[in-house]
Amino acid sequence: MTLAPKDLQRLERSLRRHRVELLERLQHPDPESTDRYVPIAGQLRVLLCDAELPILITVAEQKNVALRIWGPLRPNAPRPPGAFLPYLRLIAGWDPIPDGHEMSVQEYLDTAIGGVPVQVGTGQGERVSWYTPRQLIKWVANKEGAAHLDLTLPATLEALNVTRRVMKTAEGSTTTDEFLVRSGIVQIAQWTLKAIDRVLAA
């Protein structure tokens, strides 16, 4: 699909607006410690995951800019046995990272970035539920209130939300919930900001 010049200009204006908002939210000293990840997910949904017109991907395609990203697992690769929790590992990277795998952003959005144990049923034990960047973005945007609010959460998102990170503070140790969700959204957003700059400069 080739867009008319006026339509491409409109998309680029929207991309510039998203850049300003995304930069402002990511400039917080510790964006993973706040609820900024929820409106950030709303932006990522529009920029990367919109079914009709993902703004960033569409503008990149119109300008022939290849958007590459590094993720923790290869597209279509066999998934490791057991849970795979990235914690402080790579979730989304702009630059080459040891043990990372480079791919197009379109491949990345549908490639697993982690797997968490979820309860199968009463007394039936657990199974590993894998999740992709697209799922993570849309879950937060559509379930946590950025685009929609849903009182029923997918089991995988609930499992991610209760995964805790121990943080050292001046008063001692504390735990934070939603660490994997926050960290994943923030890393994808940091990559997205660099990708926007690349596309707008083309």
Q: Domain range spanning residue 52?
A: 5-201
DSSP result, 18-68: HHHHHHHHHTSS-GGGSTTHHHHHHHHIIIII-SS--HHHHHHHHTT---E
Which tens digits make up the pLDDT trace of 76-97? Answer: 888 777 767 665 568 899 999 8
How many domains is the chain partitioned into structurally? 1
Distance of CA 102 to the CA centre of its chain: 16
Residue 131's beta-bridge partner residues? 114
Taking only the tens place, the pLDDT of each residue in 126-159 is 788 888 999 999 988 987 766 766 567 667 667 6
CA proximity to 113, closest of 142, 141, 143, 93: 93
Q: What share of the chain is helix, strand, coil (3-state, %, to 5)?
A: 45, 20, 35
